[in-house]
């Protein structure tokens, strides 16, 4: 954050007046700096152990007390140093460290954690209202940065979008159409910032998930706008959408030699239902999904179900690596993969190139998040790009006519 300093050097006749102010201002600054340092030190404190070491009740009691201290110190700093621009950074940190608002824990706290807590809703509402008021104060201020104001403005945009989605899910009246004008207004204020394409992606991805087809229409709308970054982002997004649409029109083609030497070609798997699983050993959600994949594989492999892994393993490759260094890194990364698949009992073939997010196959299909799970029918066409959880088994059974 840039802090602008006002240098007001008056005429020589005012020099004595200026000098008399310096000690007081220096003392005030010293106090402010000390308060800020104390706040940062409080935020940096770590619990004396993890839940598995302390037990849930003791752990969350410590966290709750610490969060209360952070809130008191953060809100106190903002009130006491109302002209220091750094208060907005303190506000962001304070709001990110929400108290737990626990009145007491239930008897099953050790098995359910915070789900067993009785929450003080009145205190929670009061804290949230204070946060909302300070966010609005930040947006209206003259010393917050454009980035800070944009972040808070987006918070309100996303909050209202979630409320609209909640109304939709409850089958109450809802309307997403006003968000186009709101997004236009957001771009008009903050369009010079580089994160506008990311904001559009978040907004329109959520819109498409709730109103299929509307996200595409809004990308088309943005493609005709005046913001260069959004026009480019819209073109890229529409190209990816078209690419995904084509996956369901014509057979998908993937061929490679697996890390264990097996030759894989989806053309040779026509007539079978195939899951192409884009994943990695470092990916928590991928590992969480693994038991489901293994179960479906065990239950339906003999009936015509196959799995093909595309592992986005990170070989930590660098352009400056020598051939020997590259070879050594690749061997180590491949061993991590094969050790993992062996230990987990994953008999299906795995593609490996050590290129991480630049994986040759994942980039062909514009994979930007994993796990990405393409389920392919007997004709080789993609019927789902998100075959996870219960949907995987349900779709496999449907395609196999079981």
- 264 or 240: whose pLDDT is higher? 264
63 in any annotated domain: yes
- Identify the DSSP state of 307: E
Per-residue pLDDT band at 192 (split at 50, 70, 90): very high
- Number of domains the chain contains: 3
CA distance linking residue 273 with residue 279, whole number of Å: 19
Interval 36-76: pLDDT, tens: 999 999 999 999 999 989 999 999 999 999 999 999 999 99
Are both 82 and 135 inside the same structural domain? yes
Query: Which residue matches tokens 């008191």?
Result: 72
**In the beta sheet, which residues pair with residue 275?**
307, 375
**In the beta sheet, which residues pair with residue 265?**
255
- 112 or 25: whose pLDDT is higher? 112
Interval 304-359: pLDDT, tens: 999 999 999 999 999 999 999 999 999 999 999 999 999 999 999 999 999 999 99
Are both 215 and 185 inside the same structural domain? yes
Reference 240, options 360, 366, 375, 362; nearest CA is: 366
pLDDT score at 1? 33
Tokens representing 4? 């602008």
Domain boundary among 144, 172, 199: 144
374 in any annotated domain: yes
Establish whether the linkage from the previous residue to 159 is cis, with ω within 30° of 0: no
Tokens representing 366? 């514009």
Q: How many helices (H) and strands (E) does the chain have?
A: 15, 9
- Residue 27 predicted with pLDDT over 90: no
- Report the run of H or E that residue 124 belongs to, with start and end: helix 121-140
149 in any annotated domain: no
- Residue 3 predicted with pLDDT over 90: no
Of all residues in the chain, the percent with pLDDT exceeding 90 is 80
pLDDT score at 7? 30
Q: What is the mean pLDDT of residues 265-292?
A: 95
Interval 92-143: pLDDT, tens: 999 999 999 999 998 899 999 899 999 999 999 999 999 999 999 999 999 9
Residue 216, classed as helix, strand or coil, is helix
Domain boundary among 178, 212, 247: 247
Domain boundary among 144, 164, 192: 144
Are both 260 and 210 inside the same structural domain? no
φ, ψ at 179 (rounded to 5°): -70, -20
Are both 269 and 369 inside the same structural domain? yes
Are both 264 and 321 inside the same structural domain? yes
Per-residue pLDDT band at 179 (split at 50, 70, 90): very high
pLDDT score at 366? 85
pTM assigned to the model: 0.67
Q: Which domain holds residue 192?
A: 155-247
CA-based end-to-end distance of the chain: 61
7 in any annotated domain: no
**In the beta sheet, which residues pair with residue 257?**
263
Per-residue pLDDT band at 22 (split at 50, 70, 90): very low
Tokens representing 394? 């349900």
Could you give the angle at which helices 146-169 and 121-140 cross, rounded to 10 degrees?
Answer: 140
pLDDT score at 250? 84
pLDDT score at 209? 82
Are both 265 and 183 inside the same structural domain? no
Q: What is the mean pLDDT of residues 257-271?
A: 95
- Residue 276 predicted with pLDDT over 90: yes
Rounded mean pLDDT of the chain? 90
- Report the run of H or E that residue 157 belongs to, with start and end: helix 146-169
Are both 369 and 394 inside the same structural domain? yes
């Amino acid at each position: 954050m840039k802090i602008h300093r006002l240098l007001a050097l008056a005429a020589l006749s005012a020099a004595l007046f200026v000098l008399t102010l310096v000690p007081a201002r220096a003392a005030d600054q010293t106090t402010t700096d000390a308060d800020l340092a104390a706040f940062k030190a409080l935020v940096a404190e770590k619990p004396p152990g993890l839940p598995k070491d302390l037990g849930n009740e003791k752990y969350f009691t410590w966290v709750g007390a610490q969060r209360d201290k952070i809130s008191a110190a953060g809100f106190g700093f903002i009130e006491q140093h109302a002209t220091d621009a750094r208060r907005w950074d303190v506000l962001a940190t304070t709001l990110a460290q929400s108290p737990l608002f626990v009145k007491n824990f239930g008897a099953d706290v050790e098995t359910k954690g915070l789900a067993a807590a009785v929450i003080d809703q009145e205190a929670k509402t009061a804290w949230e209202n204070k946060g909302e008021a300070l966010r609005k104060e930040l947006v209206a201020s003259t010393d917050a940065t454009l980035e800070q104001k944009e972040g808070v403005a987006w918070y309100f945009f996303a909050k209202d979008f979630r409320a609209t989605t909640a109304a939709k899910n409850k089958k109450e009246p809802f309307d997403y159409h006003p968000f186009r004008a709101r997004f236009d207004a957001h771009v008009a204020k903050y369009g010079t910032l580089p994160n506008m394409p990311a904001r559009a992606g978040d907004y329109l991805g959520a819109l498409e998930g709730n109103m299929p087809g509307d996200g595409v229409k809004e990308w088309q709308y943005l493609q005709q706008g005046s913001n260069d970054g959004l026009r480019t982002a819209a073109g890229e997004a529409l190209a990816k959408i078209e690419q995904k649409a084509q996956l369901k029109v014509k057979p998908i083609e993937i061929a490679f030699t697996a890390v264990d030497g097996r030759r894989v070609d989806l053309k040779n798997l026509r007539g079978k239902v195939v899951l192409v699983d884009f994943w990695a050993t470092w990916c928590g959600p991928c590992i969480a999904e693994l038991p489901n994949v293994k179960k479906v594989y065990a239950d339906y492999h003999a009936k015509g179900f196959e799995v093909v892994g595309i592992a986005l393993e990170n070989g930590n490759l660098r352009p400056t690596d020598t051939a020997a260094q590259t070879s050594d890194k690749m061997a180590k990364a491949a061993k991590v993969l094969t050790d993992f698949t062996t230990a987990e009992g994953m008999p299906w073939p795995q593609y490996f190139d050590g290129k991480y997010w630049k994986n040759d196959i994942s980039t062909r299909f514009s994979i930007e998040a994993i796990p990405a799970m393409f389920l392919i029918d007997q004709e080789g066409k993609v019927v789902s790009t998100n075959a996870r959880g219960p949907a995987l088994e349900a779709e496999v059974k449907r395609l196999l006519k079981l």
